Structure 1
Amino acid sequence: MKKKWIATLLTAALTVSLLGCGGGASDKAAATDGAAAADSGKPYIAMIALGFSHQYWQAVKQGAEQAAEEYGVSITFEGPETETQVDKQVDMLKTALGNNPVAVCMAAIDTESVAGILQEAKGKGVKVVGFDAGVGEAEADCKCTTDSIEAGAIAAEHAAELLGGKGKVAVIGYSQTTVDSVERNKGFIDKITNDYPDIEVVDVQFGDGDHLKSAEIAKAMVQANPDLNLIFTNNEGSCIGAYNGLNEVGKIDDVKLIGFDSSAAMKEAIRNGQIAGAITQDPIGMGYKSIEAAVKLVNGEEVESFIDTGCYWYDADNMDDPQIAPLLYD
């Protein structure tokens, strides 16, 4: 990313307020926004995320808007209220395509649900960029995201270090269908299995990123495995849910917890040592690079099929470092 704008972006990502959900504006209003963007006289790019209200998505939006300004395109950015509303997201995609975008950037909740729609759009010349969770390989002209397998592997390395190379671990994921959730788990489990033979993965469950569901899963895990040493959670909702659950059964000091992404609650718990650490992404860069890739594709320029937007481990020791702090959102 270019130095002339990165400081502005980082500041914006840290201060952006939660202005509501993807459904905070009605579907009709979203359609109107898309129509206005399409009629702006600039190439129109539709960006559809897994969600909208969490500050992570607002940081992605900030990066995308900066890229749109620099590259002279018009964009819309939307997502459903929760990251499980497949039908709502499909409707958003159909509405956006009705406004004839030159490209679509999408993080699909369920890749199969949008595969046919995106393939039809591609047949009409629309470029498709997968970001964050991405879309199916057959539908994507390129993907801009964290290398989720590598991110999971980094989490596994830190888990092994925390455990001294031996023990029992469990995994709480947020989705069995969203690509990045699947890949984060794969990276973690494969690394543990292949490189740390004295660490056993005893359970893998999914809680939809919901705090209450994830809390119940964590409590069931420690009940079924009294000698459990660590839980890896692959998104913010799973992490805080597991944190709450371990607290409820008095196991927060006995079972180590590793998270993914960030929030005010996660950062506080990491500072006080109750969460060992987490992986953070670079949502600002992801938003910027997604729009940049879409513009290049529309212009016929060569674009790599996979653009890694990076990730970092953070804990109480490094979370205030200049490289890490701007990437930790509330």
Structure 2
Amino acid sequence: MRKKKLTVVTTLLLLSSMMLSACGAKTTETKPAAASTAPTPAASAAAPAAAKTDKIYIPVISKGFQHQFWQAVKQGAEKAAKEFNVEITFEGPETEQQVDKQIEMLQAALGKKPSAIAFAALDSKAATPLLEKAKAAKIPVIGFDSGVDSDIPVTTAATDNKAAAALAADKMAALIGNEGEIALVVHDQTSRTGVDRRDGFTNRIKEKYPNIKIVDTQYGGGDQLKSTDLAKAIIQAHPNIKGIFGSNEGSAIGVINAVTELKKDGKIIVIGYDSGKQQTDAVRSGKMAGAITQDPIGIGYWSVKAAVQAIKGETVPKSIDTGFHWYDKTNIDSAEIKPLLYD
């Protein structure tokens, strides 16, 4: 019996030793096995994102999304991104009054450590501290449309807004017989475009047309409804007014709406800026005498192209003039103008 007990104990000890050895072998082999295991679905999904970081990344931050103009700028930016094989994001606040939201977008974009950034400032002063950070981090800043009112941008791809607004003033003067009362509804007084269009129009009137009086200048944030209310108030306060200039798409449509609501069609000359569908329809119907059209696709294209050039260390001109044209009933369907309309 003693021998049997000893045999059983010995057998149990041998079995325990074999099991422990087997466990130790399994632990040793697990590590290389895990390294060679096929990636999980989560890892596979992350792989493209990792690959994207090798591509030049350029965030393009616009002033808004509510106008067709910005969709045309986006189209141009995407065209350049495809041509130069870079990754872009195109974003902007819902309205051109949301300065704080645009600043948040700029901060988030810089946090992604982009190769360059394209930016159209709603408020140059508000954006400057973040753009200083971009400069310190050697991230080239490309201004577009309104650009940035500072020397930080490498270049700015934009319309010569002062010259374009001066042409609008010349057209207004001719249409009202070089005399009478006029007013402006401007999209803002904080962006470069707002300031330049206001000043370009106002200075030309003051310099060349002494018999024309600017009775009011109001700021509607590019919002149609607000611009409509402002234009109605101007018309009611100045019953002899002969013309109103709307400095961007939303401003101009607001002026048209006000003139229509107050049954002043044909009595007040409306001149606009930009060329979305509502404006081109208004020109064709006669509600708007004419407008300045930019080249928004060209603005978007050059903002990305210039960014790529700056990243590569190529020489970039300090400003890129993307051009402008006057259009009215006589030339709206011409070969020169039609490609610049973004219906």
TM bin (shorter chain): 0.7 to 0.9
Instruction: Note the alpha carbon deviations across 1:101-124, whole angstroms, 9 max, x for none.
Output: 111100111111110001111111
Tell me the amino acid that sits aligned with residue 310 of structure 2. L
Q: 1:120 to 1:155 in 2, by over 3 A?
A: same
Q: What displacement does 1:152 show?
A: 0.5
Tell me the amino acid that sits aligned with residue 278 of structure 2. A
Tell me if structure 1 keeps the 8 A contact 2:67–2:249.
Answer: no
Tell me if structure 1 keeps the 8 A contact 2:246–2:252.
Answer: yes
How far, CA to CA, are the matches of 2:219 and 2:155 in structure 1?
28
The answer to whether structure 1 residue 95 and structure 2 residue 108 are counterparts is: yes
The answer to whether structure 1 residue 64 and structure 2 residue 111 are counterparts is: no
How far, CA to CA, are the matches of 1:111 and 1:38 in structure 2?
35
Counterpart for residue 11 of structure 1: none
Tell me if structure 2 keeps the 8 A contact 1:160–1:166.
Answer: yes
Tell me if structure 2 keeps the 8 A contact 1:263–1:328.
Answer: yes
The answer to whether structure 1 residue 158 and structure 2 residue 171 are counterparts is: yes
- Paired residues for 1:122-133 under 5 Å: 122-133=135-146
In the alignment, which of 261, 278, 285 is matched to residue 272 of structure 1?
285
Instruction: Note the alpha carbon deviations across 1:22-64, whole angstroms, 9 max, x for none.
Output: xxxxxxxxxxxxx949934211111100112432112111111
Tell me if structure 2 keeps the 8 A contact 1:44–1:101.
Answer: yes
Structure 1 gaps, min length 5: 1-34
Counterpart for residue 8 of structure 2: none
How far, CA to CA, are the matches of 2:49 and 2:327 in structure 1?
41
The answer to whether structure 1 residue 187 and structure 2 residue 203 are counterparts is: no
Instruction: Note the alpha carbon deviations across 1:176-224, whole angstroms, 9 max, x for none.
Output: 1111011001000101100111111111111111222111111111222
Counterpart for residue 299 of structure 2: 286
Q: What displacement does 1:162 show?
A: 0.7
- Paired residues for 1:39-78 under 5 Å: 39-78=52-91
Tell me the amino acid that sits aligned with residue 198 of structure 2. N
Superposed CA RMSD: 1.5
How far, CA to CA, are the matches of 1:303 and 1:287 in structure 2?
16
Tell me the amino acid that sits aligned with residue 191 of structure 2. T
Q: 1:42 to 1:231 in 2, by over 3 A?
A: same
Instruction: Note the alpha carbon deviations across 1:270-318, whole angstroms, 9 max, x for none.
Output: 1121110011110111111111111111111111111111111111111
Structure 2 gaps, min length 5: 1-47
Tell me if structure 2 keeps the 8 A contact 1:129–1:290.
Answer: yes
How far, CA to CA, are the matches of 1:119 and 1:317 in structure 2?
47
How far, CA to CA, are the matches of 1:280 and 1:185 in structure 2?
16
Tell me if structure 2 keeps the 8 A contact 1:132–1:286.
Answer: yes
Tell me if structure 1 keeps the 8 A contact 2:161–2:196.
Answer: yes
How far, CA to CA, are the matches of 1:141 and 1:210 in structure 2?
31
How far, CA to CA, are the matches of 1:272 and 1:121 in structure 2?
47
Q: What displacement does 1:265 show?
A: 2.0
Bigger Rg, which one: 2
